[in-house]
Amino acid sequence: MAFRTKIEQIARKNESRIVLALDFPFEKPENRDSLLSKAESVLNAVHPYLCAVKFNHHLVLPLGAFGGVEKLVERVHDYGLVAIMDCKVNDIGATNQVIAEYYYATGFDALIANPFIGWEEGLQPIFEVATRLQRGIILLTYMSHKGAGEGYGQTIIDSETGEKTHQYIAFAKKALALKADGVIVGATYPRKIEEVYQVLGEKVPIFSPGIGAQGGEIRSALKAGARYLIVGRSIVGAENPAESARQIQKFTRQ
């Protein structure tokens, strides 16, 4: 089953559009075991309120893909959720292919890539691996941080029409043409979510990070057209992660 169908089915079943960013602050490498236990205990407490879990360097660097993270991905699947690797692939095609093969071999259902690299010898090999293994690809479109506009917000000349447009609009159109499984647009920029939604409609779902810790708001992101909310510190760093996830889930149910 295609990744986007899978995550949608889980979201409906669990009545949640929360993608948990399972991120923890830096720990000394000798504390790796406690990091793994922490990740397991957050997952254990929070999984009923999620549709997916997103991993980042926070766990892959200290725990390694095979062994540590692989175990957590298995746990995510046991809970009936999907696992996304936030590796923001951004290299030449031959390297991207190896990155994608390793992460999919770890068990990830989808990974995040950066469309700035272009198609030929960039995204193409990643899409080929994903198609062969029936996994997903989510493309960055407008990031959530303050400096995002320097790249994603640039005014460019559309190579096909010769008209001026914004980089993120061109990326949204690319995601549509490539049948990507999703795009990332920061919850900190609800107006951008709206514009991207105008391009994508219901065809490609918008994943929106930046809720809470980065200042983005749940309601405005969802109202603008975000389909899934990526939430990390507001849940993982909360005194009661399950309660925090449950509160956020309430909004995504409406």
Comparison of 94 and 167: residue with beta carbon closer to ligand BMP? 167
Map residues 95-124 to x or -, x wherever contact with ligand BMP holds by CB under 6 A: ------------------------------
- Shortest Cβ distance from residue 161 to ligand BMP (Å)? 27
Q: Which is nearer to ligand BMP, 11 or 18 (CB)?
A: 18
- Binding-site member from 16, 56, 106, 249 for ligand BMP (CB under 6 A): 56
Nearer of residues 143 and 196 to ligand BMP, judged by Cβ: 143
Using CB under 6 A, pick the residue from 90, 124, 165, 214 that binds ligand BMP. 214
Q: Which of 122, 210, 225, 241 binds ligand BMP (CB under 6 A)?
A: 210
Helices (H), the chain: 3-14, 32-46, 57-63, 70-78, 93-106, 124-133, 149-152, 167-177, 190-200, 218-224, 233-236, 241-253
Short-list 120, 107, 115, CA closest to 81: 107
Cite the active site residues. Answer: 88
CA-atom Rg of the chain in angstroms: 17
CB of 238 to ligand BMP, least distance (A): 11
Q: Output the smallest distance, CB 230 to ligand BMP, in A.
A: 5
102 vs 81: CA distance, rounded Å: 20
Nearest Cα to Cα of residue 246 among 53, 50, 78: 50
- Does 229 bind ligand BMP (CB under 6 A)? Our answer is no
Structure tokens belonging to residue 232: 């990390």
Closest approach of ligand BMP to the CB of residue 160, in Å: 26
Tokens of 58: 């926070």
- CB of residue 86 to ligand BMP, shortest distance in Å: 5
* Closest CB to ligand BMP: residue number: 232
Residue 233 binds ligand BMP, judged by CB under 6 A: yes
Between strands 164-166 and 155-157, the pairing is antiparallel
Cβ atoms of 140 and 152 closer than 8 Å: yes
The C-alpha atoms of residue 79 and residue 113 are separated, in whole angstroms, by 26
- Residue count, binding to ligand BMP (CB under 6 A): 19
Buried b (16+ CB within 10 A) or exposed e, 110-139: bbbbbbebeeeebbbbbbebbeeeebbbbb
Give the interface with ligand BMP as residue ranges (CB under 6 A).
21, 23, 56, 86, 143-144, 184, 186, 209-214, 230-234
